Each structure stands twice: as structure tokens, then as C-alpha cells.
Structure 1
Amino acid sequence: MKSVGIIGSGNVGRALAHGFIKYGYSTMISSRNGETRKKLKDEFEDKLSVDTPENVSEQCEILVFAVKGNQAKEALTELGVSNLKGKTIIDTTNPIEDSAPENGVLRYTTSINKSLMEELQEIAPEAHFVKAFSCVGSLHMVDPKFESTPTMFICGNDPSAKLEVKEIIDQFGWEVEDMGAAEAARAIEPLAILWCIPGFIENSWNHALKLLKK
């Protein structure tokens, strides 16, 4: 198995780190803050390594990009584009504004005709971005427990990278629906808006999306 590096130490990054550890991956997680790195070491004990984002991006073969969407472009640049060349990057980000939802509906910083992942791909054109884990909350990202298997929608330009990510998502208990090239992120990223509406309106967060086929 390839080594996995988590860029970001919030709920998403930590949830996925636990998943990678559970399924036997050599895993690192990162934070810029020294105090946060100490807390991560306590949380994960000796199950993974903790380092700075730059060091994790340099050392690991697969990266999970799990930072706040409105800070994503700056965070990606700070990793060092040369560290990302040829690597599969699982992009979990959504371009969510800091403003409060309007009647439960999040505001995005992007337009419908340009996704955040496309912007990230432009910053690091030799990296292989795959959108995934962006349409569900962190509580259900690993081993989701529902009456039927939910769908994880992915997209990206590199077929090999998507196959690599599909294998991970399969292990984590999802069915995968490949929606095509990076432009499909324009449709996938807004699914987070839909997913969040019941949470903001009814405080109901225990759901996931599924594509039904006939």
C-alpha cells in the first residue's frame, strides 16, 4: 500500500486518518500549529506520524487535501507545487463562504461554471486531483451504516488516480460513481449544499446520497 498524507487536521482530516489506519495504510497527518500537532499525537498515539504540511506532502505518495475551502488555494501553494508532481490528491474541499447559511443553504465562493477543484488543478497542473468525500459529513466517511450502500461521487482527469481512489473508497464501504473529468466537480461540489440542508434546518445529519440505476 502507498503511504497516505492528510493535509488538514479538522474533522474531515482526522476521520479519514482513522479510516486509513484501520485499513492498514502507513499514514501521516499535518498541522501548521505546534500545539495542534501535540494534540494529534495524543489522539492517534503511535498509530501515525504527525508533521508539518510541507513535510507530509513531500514524504507521502497519496495526499488527502482536507482544508477549509476558502483557504484551499493558499494552502495548496504553500505545500510547494514541486512536492505534488505526479501524486494522487484526494480533494475533499468545498468552496464554502464563512457567512451563515440562508434558510439552510450554504453560500459558495465559486460560480456554477468553475469548481474549486478545477482551480486547484490549475495551481498544480502535474498533480492528479480526484474529488471525493465532499458530499457527506465526516461522521459517515468511513464504514457508513445505512440500509443500503451510499454513493460516493468522484471525478478527475487521470484514470489511474481515479482507480486508486476508487479502491480506497471501496474499502471504506461506499459504492463509487465516476462522473468523469475535473469539470464534473462543478456538479459534485454543490452536493454538499444539498447534504447540509436537513442538518441546518432540522439538525439531522445522519444521511447520505445514493444514485439509483435501472
Structure 2
Amino acid sequence: MKIGILGSGSVAQSLGAGLLQHGHDVVLGTGSPAKLAEWQAAHPRARVGTFADAAGFGDIAVLAVKGHAAVAAVRAAGAHLLAGKTIIDTTNPIADEPPLHGVLRFFTGPGESLHEQLQREYPELKFVKAFNSVGAAHMIDPSFEGGPPTMFICGDDERARHAVGGLVRELGWEVADMGPAVAARAIEPLCMLWCIPGLQRNEWSHAFRLLK
């Protein structure tokens, strides 16, 4: 597939490299091309361009920016270029305030999610929440003693969820489809839980698994 990634941070770089390894074509869109010079030198098959370049290129797009920049990043990319496309939403609504005893603070309340805000802001786009509850180092072909971890996904469009689920499985995960976008109210806080061991004890090598 052709995949356009909006972002230039560790999540964008990790997913971009992993998708290339799995045979996909990738364009990373960024407002700071210099930030990706070293990454592109290591991945010559990929292309670095603007947000609009990535949005127009991808059959599927990935939104991989900081939470407070998510709505603006889609606007910068051009919602018309993303209309009708599936967009993997990796974002979390992490606030600027420091963590409290290792617990991140969100700028959303308990009855809302950033994912739902994005879907309301851009109703013509098909957002699917994924890759928000694990660190960038473990997003591609994760290897843990307990077996493949679980990626929790959600989104209002069932066909889009199915497409993202297939891609997530290809990248080495089990998938737990939690249904419509409202489930992001539970999935986004998994980021908080995942980060606590890291912020408290500098332990970052773990992932969640749903047992049945």
C-alpha cells in the first residue's frame, strides 16, 4: 500500500521504517524537513514532503503528531486530500502539565476523547484509533515472552477498522476491535497506564494483552 504519515517524531519515524520493511511505500509529511534528514538517509526508499504531500500520496494515512497539534495537522494536510480515506489516529491528548506520580495528565475529560474530537471536526474522514498505547520502539513486530501483544482499535467506520486491523496484524499484533469511536474514551487512557512504569522506574519494555 501507499501510506502517508503526518508527523516527524519518534512514532512517525518508527512506523515509517516498519512499514517500509513490510513492503509498503511511505511518504512522511512534516513542517520541519531538516528533522528527518538523518532518517531519510537511512531509508532512501521513503520520501519526505509536506503534510499535503503525505495526505495526497497515501491510500491510508497515519496521524502521528502531538495531541494538541492533531486538529491543526489535519487542517495543514488538507482535509479534502484525506476525504474518504482511512486515517490511523495514533494521538493522545497529553497536556503540557507534568505527570503526577508518573500519571500523565490529559486535556480531555472522562466523558470525551481526542479521537472523537477529530471525528467531529472532520466528519468526512475515517479515523481509526491505534498505536496510541505502546512506545515507538515496540510498534513494529513486537517480541515479548508472553506472545503477541494486543492492539486495541476503534472507529466509527467498520470497513476502515477492518482495513486497519489487517495492517496491524501484518505488523505483528493481535487486534481487539472495540467498535465505534466512543471506545477511545477507554483506549486513550491506556497510554497513561503504559507510561506509569516508565515515568516511575524507567521501564519501557512492555505491552498489553487481552486474554480470553
TM-score by length of 1: 0.95
Q: Kindly report structure 1 stretches of 4+ aligned residues shifted beyond 6 Å.
A: none
Matched ranges for 1:1-214 at <5 A: 2-44=1-43, 46-147=44-145, 148-213=147-212
**Cα distance between partner residues in 1 of 2:48 and 2:128:** 24
Give the deviation of 1:85 after TM superposition. 0.6
**Cα distance between partner residues in 1 of 2:77 and 2:192:** 28
Give the deviation of 1:151 after TM superposition. 0.5
**Cα distance between partner residues in 1 of 2:136 and 2:87:** 18
State the Cα deviation string for residues 127-169 of structure 1 (Å, max 9, x = none).
1100000010001000111022111000001111111111111
Give the deviation of 1:47 after TM superposition. 1.6
Give the 3-state SS of the residue equivalent to 2:110 in structure 1. coil
Identity level (%): 46
Residue 33 of structure 2 contacts residue 49 of structure 2 at CA under 8 Å; is this kept in 1?
A: no
Task: Mark the runs of 5 or more structure 1 residues left unpaired by the alignment.
Answer: none
**Cα distance between partner residues in 2 of 1:165 and 1:24:** 16
State the Cα deviation string for residues 45-71 of structure 1 (Å, max 9, x = none).
x22111111111122110010000111
State the Cα deviation string for residues 69-91 of structure 1 (Å, max 9, x = none).
11111212222111111000000
What is the one-letter code of the residue matched to 1:67? V
Residue 92 of structure 1 contacts residue 131 of structure 1 at CA under 8 Å; is this kept in 2?
A: yes
State the Cα deviation string for residues 106-127 of structure 1 (Å, max 9, x = none).
0000011111011111121111
Q: What's the RMSD between the two structures over aligned residues? A: 1.1
Give the 3-state SS of the residue equivalent to 1:109 in structure 2. coil
Residue 156 of structure 2 contacts residue 181 of structure 2 at CA under 8 Å; is this kept in 1?
A: yes
Give the deviation of 1:210 after TM superposition. 0.9
Give the deviation of 1:40 after TM superposition. 3.6
Give the deviation of 1:103 after TM superposition. 0.2
Give the 3-state SS of the residue equivalent to 1:169 in structure 2. helix
**Cα distance between partner residues in 2 of 1:14 and 1:36:** 11
Task: Mark the runs of 5 or more structure 2 residues left unpaired by the alignment.
Answer: none
**Count of residue pairs brought into register by the alignment:** 211
State the Cα deviation string for residues 9-43 of structure 1 (Å, max 9, x = none).
10000000111101111111121123224334223
Residue 77 of structure 1 contacts residue 123 of structure 1 at CA under 8 Å; is this kept in 2?
A: no
Residue 4 of structure 1 contacts residue 62 of structure 1 at CA under 8 Å; is this kept in 2?
A: yes
Give the 3-state SS of the residue equivalent to 1:105 in structure 2. coil
TM-score by length of 2: 0.96
